Chains A and B, each alone.
Chain A
Amino acid sequence: MLSPLQRHLTSVFLKIFWRDRRSIFFSLFFPVIFMTVFSFANSREQEPIAVGIINNSASGVATEFAEMLIESPLFNITIGEEQRLRDELIAGDQTMVLELPETFGLNLENQSSEINVVVDAAQVTQLNLIMPVLEQTLLSIEREFRDIEPMFSIEIEDVQARSQRYIDFLLPGLMAFTLMQLAIAGSGFNIVEYRRKGILKRLFVTPIEPGDFITAIVLARMAIVLVQLSVLILFAVVLLDIRIVGNFFAYYFVVILGTIVFLCQGFCLGSLAKTQEAIGALGNIVIMPQIFLSGIFYPIESMPEWIQPVAQLLPLSFVSTGMREIANAGATLVEIFPSLIGIAVWFVISFVAATRLFLWKEVAN
């Protein structure tokens, strides 16, 4: 348990950190923006594709065809004049325009008609996705007209019986990344700042032990980081409808372990760096590679073979993988044991390094 001194010191640091609302707020700014952007980018894919139809045919089949397309939830159909639709296509209001020829549906039995698809080539990447969908829809409409039973139908069943969007994949990684940043900045930058102000020196001439000082900062900063992450999670779950499948306590358990590891690493950096510039540079050396290699934005499995073993051993990889398995797959703490072992090993390394490097006398001067 904590000694009275440690409790007092922790409460003072809590006050110090908590009263710095501006930095608490601004450090949440980036992840909030990030999540919002990704969740909107995500939901846009599910919007119907805007398609214009120019119906040059007077036949009933053409009208019926157009109506069937209108009924399809995949498309948002506008029927109209050629000139207007072309203008809309150029303006980007339509993704493509279908031109039904005069002969469309007149000779249903022995002649196929050609549908002219007008597109804006600038949207070529989207077209690659849309064309198969369009072809599929046209085929099934044709089948209905000709009254042919389809030979087979495809039904997709998720093996995990849940819907997984990119944002669901992203959230745990983003949380892990955010907690790493908050923790490293929260200890490392503070140490450098306290040294610059001469506060460490002043503390050193009192009988306080370095262990008490480190304990107090770790506990106080941990409380702040947990509040910050809870705000983010609340934001994600309530406003962005992101699902966390697993147990919340298990999730927070990994969060707490990760925070301790990164706080210790912050102490190492803060002890090594002598200036605010140096801690910025050192921090980037630790943080930057992990952003890209720790499976935050895309799975580690999608990286080049040779880099995967290294990537998997990074501290942030263990934390983000553990959090993701709990959040996305509902894994229990037992099931993410490999990640927990990895975090534990990193904790030992970081803790030993922090206590070795954080020598009052040298860090204070």
Chain B
Amino acid sequence: MPIIEVRDLAKQYPLPDNKSEKFFAVNGVSLQIEAGEIFGILGPNGAGKTTTLEMLEGLNDIDGGEAFIDEIDVSQNPYKVKEVIGVQLQANEYFDNVNLEELLGLFGALYNRDIDPKALLKKVQLEDKAKAKPANLSGGQKQRFSIACALVNEPKVLFLDEPTTGLDPQAKRNLWDLVRNLNKSGMTIVLTTHNMEEAEELCDRLAIMDKGKIIAEGTPQELILEHAPEPPEAPLHGDLEDVFLVLTGHGLRE
């Protein structure tokens, strides 16, 4: 059985301007993610990527369908699921006045674990920042620290929500290396991204979402072969970004 199994997942929200009407933020998403994969979810803003992740993480109620992580039913046993997942959210602010080492100690306590903050910080190359406050970190350092926090319970599955948004190229590549290393140690990683290069470089398999549905799925190479736009004269022309635009249309998203 895949480590993440999602069938017909759905989430409804009332429309912002007409509360009595509802729309599907996530509409019948099915996914199978194998242990040890780096799985990417691509999609324009509002496609339902974050909502899908939040349902898997237990942050959002599941309105329809079902989801299993490590064979645990997410809606039945949210607390058991939380034990085996690590989560990095888009917002990565923490308490003021507490340094990185203390924050990691706190996260350890939340999982009832004694952890070695120094070793975790070393893993994300922040060992010299142990006494720094999160507010004083750079964007890349903040993201790496968020990942360190997500690792305190040695999760089987790591969820990363747009981990490289807003990072400079150096910080971005540095984070990719970190993700690859974690993956090599056996961790399954699920990430959302807008960055096509990231999806192509980093992910073993991808799902492209739009309007709450998965509209394409496969390895980056498969997606390019299958959906790269015309003209089809050899050599095959276009990259993953072209695929993305063909599939989701060129209209600007809010």
> What is the interface of chain A, defined by CB distance below 8 A to chain B?
4-5, 8-9, 12, 15-16, 19-20, 194, 197-199, 201-208, 361, 364-365
Q: Contacts A205-B89, A365-B59; is A5 near B109 (CB within 8 Å)?
A: yes
Give the distance in Å from the alpha carbon of A208 to the alpha carbon of B109 in the complex.
9
Q: Evaluate contact between B83 and A9: CB separation under 8 angstroms.
A: no
Q: Evaluate contact between B87 and A205: CB separation under 8 angstroms.
A: yes
Q: Contacts A8-B105, A9-B106; is A205 near B94 (CB within 8 Å)?
A: no
A-B contact count (CB 8 A): 77
B165 neighbours in A (Cβ, 8 Å): none
Distance of B103 from chain A, by nearest CB (Å): 8
Q: Evaluate contact between A205 and B102: CB separation under 8 angstroms.
A: no
Q: Evaluate contact between B98 and A15: CB separation under 8 angstroms.
A: yes
> What is the interface of chain B, defined by CB distance below 8 A to chain A?
57-61, 79, 82-83, 85, 87, 89-98, 102, 105-107, 109-112, 149, 153
Of A5, A15, A16, A201, which is within 8 A of B91 by CB?
A201
Q: Contacts A15-B97, A15-B98, A19-B97; is A205 near B58 (CB within 8 Å)?
A: yes
Q: Evaluate contact between B96 and A12: CB separation under 8 angstroms.
A: no
B94 neighbours in A (Cβ, 8 Å): 197, 199, 202
Give the distance in Å from the alpha carbon of A15 to the alpha carbon of B96 in the complex.
10
New contact pairs (5) apart from A15-B98, A19-B98, CB-CB < 8 Å: A9-B106, A198-B91, A202-B149, A203-B110, A207-B79
B60 neighbours in A (Cβ, 8 Å): 361, 365
B82 neighbours in A (Cβ, 8 Å): 205-207
5 A-B pairs closest in CB distance? A198-B91, A19-B97, A8-B109, A197-B93, A206-B110
Q: Evaluate contact between A206 and B107: CB separation under 8 angstroms.
A: yes
A208 neighbours in B (Cβ, 8 Å): 110
Distance of A248 from chain B, by nearest CB (Å): 31
- 29 contacting pairs across A/B (C-beta < 8 A): A4-B109, A4-B112, A5-B110, A8-B105, A8-B106, A9-B110, A12-B102, A12-B105, A15-B98, A16-B95, A16-B97, A19-B96, A19-B97, A20-B97, A194-B95, A197-B94, A198-B89, A199-B93, A199-B94, A202-B87, A202-B149, A203-B110, A205-B57, A206-B107, A207-B79, A207-B82, A207-B110, A207-B112, A361-B59
Distance of A83 from chain B, by nearest CB (Å): 66
B85 neighbours in A (Cβ, 8 Å): 205
Give the distance in Å from the alpha carbon of A194 to the alpha carbon of B95 in the complex.
8
Distance of A24 from chain B, by nearest CB (Å): 12
Using CB atoms, name the residue of chain B closest to A19: B97
Distance of B82 from chain A, by nearest CB (Å): 5
